[in-house]
Amino acid sequence: MTAAQPLHATAVAQWRPGIGWRAILISGPSGAGKSDLALRLIGRGWRLVADDYVHVFASGEALYATAPDTIRGRIEARGLGIIGACVQGVVRLVLAVELTDPTPERLPDPDERRLAGRCVPLLRLRGFEASAVEKVAAAIAPL
Protein backbone atom coordinates (compact mmCIF):
# COMPACT_ATOMS: atom_id res chain seq x y z
CA MET A 1 0.00 0.00 0.00
CA THR A 2 1.35 3.45 -0.89
CA ALA A 3 0.96 6.45 1.42
CA ALA A 4 -2.13 8.62 0.99
CA GLN A 5 -1.62 11.48 -1.42
CA PRO A 6 -3.74 14.55 -0.60
CA LEU A 7 -5.29 16.08 -3.73
CA HIS A 8 -7.27 19.30 -4.15
CA ALA A 9 -10.44 17.59 -5.36
CA THR A 10 -13.82 16.22 -4.30
CA ALA A 11 -14.83 12.56 -4.20
CA VAL A 12 -18.27 10.98 -4.11
CA ALA A 13 -19.32 7.33 -4.19
CA GLN A 14 -22.18 5.32 -5.60
CA TRP A 15 -23.47 1.93 -4.39
CA ARG A 16 -23.53 -0.66 -7.18
CA PRO A 17 -25.43 -3.90 -6.42
CA GLY A 18 -23.14 -6.90 -6.62
CA ILE A 19 -20.08 -4.62 -6.76
CA GLY A 20 -20.25 -2.33 -3.71
CA TRP A 21 -19.22 1.30 -3.33
CA ARG A 22 -17.30 2.92 -6.21
CA ALA A 23 -15.96 6.49 -6.12
CA ILE A 24 -15.17 9.21 -8.60
CA LEU A 25 -12.62 11.96 -8.08
CA ILE A 26 -13.71 15.40 -9.30
CA SER A 27 -10.91 17.89 -9.99
CA GLY A 28 -10.68 21.32 -11.54
CA PRO A 29 -9.85 24.92 -10.73
CA SER A 30 -11.51 26.83 -7.92
CA GLY A 31 -15.08 27.74 -8.86
CA ALA A 32 -15.31 25.11 -11.63
CA GLY A 33 -18.18 23.31 -9.87
CA LYS A 34 -16.56 20.39 -8.02
CA SER A 35 -18.72 20.71 -4.91
CA ASP A 36 -21.77 21.70 -6.96
CA LEU A 37 -21.53 18.54 -9.08
CA ALA A 38 -20.95 16.48 -5.93
CA LEU A 39 -24.06 17.98 -4.30
CA ARG A 40 -26.16 17.11 -7.36
CA LEU A 41 -24.82 13.53 -7.31
CA ILE A 42 -25.53 13.30 -3.55
CA GLY A 43 -29.07 14.42 -4.36
CA ARG A 44 -29.31 11.33 -6.59
CA GLY A 45 -28.26 8.92 -3.83
CA TRP A 46 -24.47 9.13 -3.99
CA ARG A 47 -22.47 9.68 -0.78
CA LEU A 48 -19.74 12.18 -0.02
CA VAL A 49 -16.25 10.76 0.43
CA ALA A 50 -14.40 14.09 0.75
CA ASP A 51 -14.77 17.69 -0.35
CA ASP A 52 -11.90 20.05 -1.10
CA TYR A 53 -9.10 17.61 -0.23
CA VAL A 54 -9.03 13.88 -0.82
CA HIS A 55 -6.46 11.32 0.28
CA VAL A 56 -5.79 8.93 -2.61
CA PHE A 57 -3.71 5.79 -2.15
CA ALA A 58 -2.96 2.57 -3.99
CA SER A 59 -3.35 -0.90 -2.54
CA GLY A 60 -2.59 -3.79 -4.83
CA GLU A 61 -3.69 -2.76 -8.30
CA ALA A 62 -6.54 -0.55 -7.09
CA LEU A 63 -6.86 3.07 -6.03
CA TYR A 64 -8.78 4.20 -2.96
CA ALA A 65 -10.09 7.56 -1.73
CA THR A 66 -10.87 8.81 1.75
CA ALA A 67 -11.35 12.12 3.57
CA PRO A 68 -8.84 13.80 5.83
CA ASP A 69 -10.18 13.59 9.40
CA THR A 70 -10.42 17.39 9.71
CA ILE A 71 -13.04 17.73 6.94
CA ARG A 72 -14.85 14.38 7.02
CA GLY A 73 -18.61 14.71 6.55
CA ARG A 74 -18.59 18.35 5.41
CA ILE A 75 -19.04 19.91 1.99
CA GLU A 76 -19.12 23.51 0.79
CA ALA A 77 -22.37 24.71 -0.71
CA ARG A 78 -21.31 27.97 -2.37
CA GLY A 79 -23.58 30.78 -1.25
CA LEU A 80 -24.76 28.78 1.78
CA GLY A 81 -21.57 27.74 3.57
CA ILE A 82 -20.23 24.47 4.95
CA ILE A 83 -22.92 21.83 5.46
CA GLY A 84 -22.99 18.28 6.73
CA ALA A 85 -23.34 15.31 4.40
CA CYS A 86 -23.73 11.57 4.77
CA VAL A 87 -20.22 10.25 4.27
CA GLN A 88 -18.74 7.03 2.95
CA GLY A 89 -15.34 5.96 4.33
CA VAL A 90 -12.56 4.41 2.26
CA VAL A 91 -13.87 3.67 -1.23
CA ARG A 92 -12.34 2.21 -4.38
CA LEU A 93 -11.71 4.98 -6.93
CA VAL A 94 -12.75 4.02 -10.47
CA LEU A 95 -13.04 7.30 -12.43
CA ALA A 96 -11.42 10.72 -12.52
CA VAL A 97 -13.59 13.63 -13.66
CA GLU A 98 -11.80 16.80 -14.72
CA LEU A 99 -13.95 19.92 -14.90
CA THR A 100 -12.94 22.15 -17.79
CA ASP A 101 -13.91 25.62 -18.90
CA PRO A 102 -13.61 25.10 -22.63
CA THR A 103 -16.20 22.77 -24.09
CA PRO A 104 -14.80 19.20 -24.18
CA GLU A 105 -14.46 17.38 -27.49
CA ARG A 106 -17.64 15.81 -28.83
CA LEU A 107 -16.13 12.35 -29.30
CA PRO A 108 -12.87 12.25 -27.34
CA ASP A 109 -10.42 9.37 -27.44
CA PRO A 110 -10.30 7.42 -24.16
CA ASP A 111 -7.97 9.05 -21.66
CA GLU A 112 -6.73 8.26 -18.17
CA ARG A 113 -5.29 9.96 -15.10
CA ARG A 114 -2.39 8.60 -13.12
CA LEU A 115 -2.80 8.79 -9.34
CA ALA A 116 -0.54 7.19 -6.73
CA GLY A 117 1.14 5.16 -9.46
CA ARG A 118 -2.10 3.71 -10.88
CA CYS A 119 -4.31 4.82 -13.77
CA VAL A 120 -8.06 5.38 -13.86
CA PRO A 121 -10.25 6.44 -16.79
CA LEU A 122 -10.59 10.21 -17.19
CA LEU A 123 -13.75 12.08 -18.18
CA ARG A 124 -13.57 15.78 -19.02
CA LEU A 125 -16.74 17.83 -18.78
CA ARG A 126 -18.21 21.16 -17.77
CA GLY A 127 -19.37 20.84 -14.18
CA PHE A 128 -22.31 23.24 -14.38
CA GLU A 129 -23.92 21.65 -17.44
CA ALA A 130 -27.35 20.25 -16.64
CA SER A 131 -26.30 16.89 -18.12
CA ALA A 132 -23.09 16.55 -16.06
CA VAL A 133 -24.72 14.19 -13.54
CA GLU A 134 -26.03 11.92 -16.29
CA LYS A 135 -22.65 11.94 -18.06
CA VAL A 136 -20.89 10.85 -14.85
CA ALA A 137 -23.47 8.10 -14.29
CA ALA A 138 -23.02 6.86 -17.86
CA ALA A 139 -19.22 6.91 -17.55
CA ILE A 140 -19.19 4.92 -14.29
CA ALA A 141 -21.81 2.39 -15.43
CA PRO A 142 -19.37 -0.04 -17.09
CA LEU A 143 -16.67 0.34 -14.42
Could you tell me which of 67, 68, 60, 53 has the C-alpha nearest to residue 118? 60
Give ∠ CA 55-39-121 in degrees, rounded to 5: 50
CA 96, CA 63: separation in Å to the nearest integer?
Answer: 11
pLDDT confidence of residue 134 = 95
Q: Tell me the per-residue pLDDT of 36-48, one tens digit each, with 9 for 90 and over.
A: 999 999 999 999 9
pTM for this predicted structure = 0.91
- Domains annotated for the chain, with CATH where assigned, are 5-140 (3.40.50.300)
pLDDT of the chain, 143 residues: tens digit per residue: 555 658 999 999 999 999 999 999 999 998 899 999 999 999 999 999 999 999 999 999 999 999 999 999 999 898 888 989 988 889 999 999 999 987 777 878 888 999 999 999 999 999 999 999 999 999 998 76
Measured between alpha carbons, how far apart are the two ends of the chain, in Å?
22
104 exposure class (CB count in 10 Å sphere: 0-12, 13-18, 19+): middle
